[in-house]
Amino acid sequence: MKFYIENNVLMRYAEDEENYEDVVIPNGVTRIESYAFDKCSAIKSVVIPEGVTSIGIRAFFGCTSLTSVKLPNSLRALDGAVFHSCTALKEISIPDGLNEIKSFTFYNCTSLEKIFIPNSVTKIGEQAFNGCEKLAKIDIPDTIEEFGRDVFKDTKWFNDISNDFVMISGKILYKYKGCAECVRIPDNVTTIAAEAFADNENIKSIIIPDSVCSIGYRAFGGCINLADITFPENIGNIGVNAFENTKWFNVHDGDFVIIGDNFLYKYKGEKENVVIPENVEHIAGFAFSNCEKMKSIKIPAGIKSIGKGAFGSCTSLKIVVIPSGITSVPFSLFYGCKRLEDVMLPDTVTEIQDLAFDGCKKLKKIIIPDSVTRFGAGIFDGCDKLTNITYRGNTYGSIEDLQKELGK
């Protein structure tokens, strides 16, 4: 067998004519790179040594003979689709210390029968166990806070549940299996997962209790007969398209679709100069996306959060002032705002996420607050005219120059 290792990173494993079935990764390796064992179909077992802290995307994708993997306690990051289509894998123990099981990690592991998820895990990405048709035993901790869509779709565990409400950890409503016209969500639910009720054409009314603080992506999307919704007073998060193509949304009057007292879910108007109501504290992801006529927007001083892509593809938008209190410039916030010329960020911002200003072709200069310590990938991709970036008293000609100075 051949290991290609650079700076303690296992870049690639190459099968040879002997086709070793049992692989022991050498001590000293700290990361297994993406695609390192991709489609190594002869491998039956892998031992990963202590000291390995991360495994890259699709690292063991399509290892169809793999039945056993020993993950080290040092592991802190397991990227997406790592064991995708490992169809012989029956059992695996996830070490305590891992915080997230990312999207498609165990997708189509058709022989997987049981999984133990430790208390350290707080998030499970979309379709992480989709297609694990023999998966019957799942130990899920109470620490889970965020669920992607179709996490357990087509598993034995999910298919065997006969209750209307499929619950995770007693507080996350993962899926609704019922067919009632009027639905009351149980009072103990805090999170409605992505697509929990999606495309259910039977539902006409629903009561969401005050205990609910988060509603996932497309949770009620496509419920075309859903006309009457009772909302809790305060919701901290509403996912993208949570109520798209429902009767409630389609017949909603007015420019602003506000849920509860302070959550702006969607803007339906066509004004050039938009003033968001003063009571709004949260703006949902993609709330203003594709508002092509909007040239300016006034955001209220009391705003607490802005969702990803909220102003994406607002192609006439020229100037935006983000009020104090916002701590993150989220993913793709101004994606495709090709006429955006001026953005003022408050000194409460600590991070700028991936692709935040992607495609802002007219943006020439920006002042990044000194408070920012985290920079995502491609935040100024497509900003061809951006030649003046001010950060901590220094001026840079490009984001690449800034990142070099930061040692990235």
Sign of CA dihedral 259, 261, 262, 268: positive
The SS3 assignment for 367 reads strand
pLDDT of residue 405: 78
Structural Rg of the chain based on CA atoms: 24
- The amino acid at residue 113 is E
What's the topology of domain 162-251?
A: 3.80.10
Report the alpha-carbon distance of residue 331 to residue 310 in Å, rounded: 9
Tell me: the pLDDT tens digits for 205-254? 999 999 999 999 999 999 999 999 999 887 878 988 999 999 999 999 89
pLDDT of residue 2: 82
Averages of pLDDT over runs of 10 residues in the chain (408 residues) are 88 75 93 95 94 97 94 95 96 92 97 94 95 94 87 95 92 95 96 95 97 94 97 85 95 92 93 96 95 96 95 96 96 97 96 96 96 94 94 90 76
Q: Write out the residue limits of the CATH 3.80.10.10 domain(s) in the chain.
A: 1-160, 162-251, 254-408
| Helix H or strand E segment including 320 | strand 319-321
Tell me: the pLDDT tens digits for 196-205? 999 999 999 9
pLDDT of residue 18: 61
Contact of 70 with 47, CB cutoff 8 Å: yes
- Say which CATH architecture domain 1-160 belongs to: Alpha-Beta Horseshoe (3.80)
- DSSP label at 215? E
| Token pair for 351 | 């991070």
pLDDT of residue 336: 97
Q: Which residues, 6 or more positions from 127, have their beta carbon under 8 angstroms from its beta carbon?
A: 103, 104, 107, 148, 149, 150, 151, 153
What's the topology of domain 254-408?
A: 3.80.10
Cα angle for residues 195, 355, 54 (degrees, 5° grid): 75
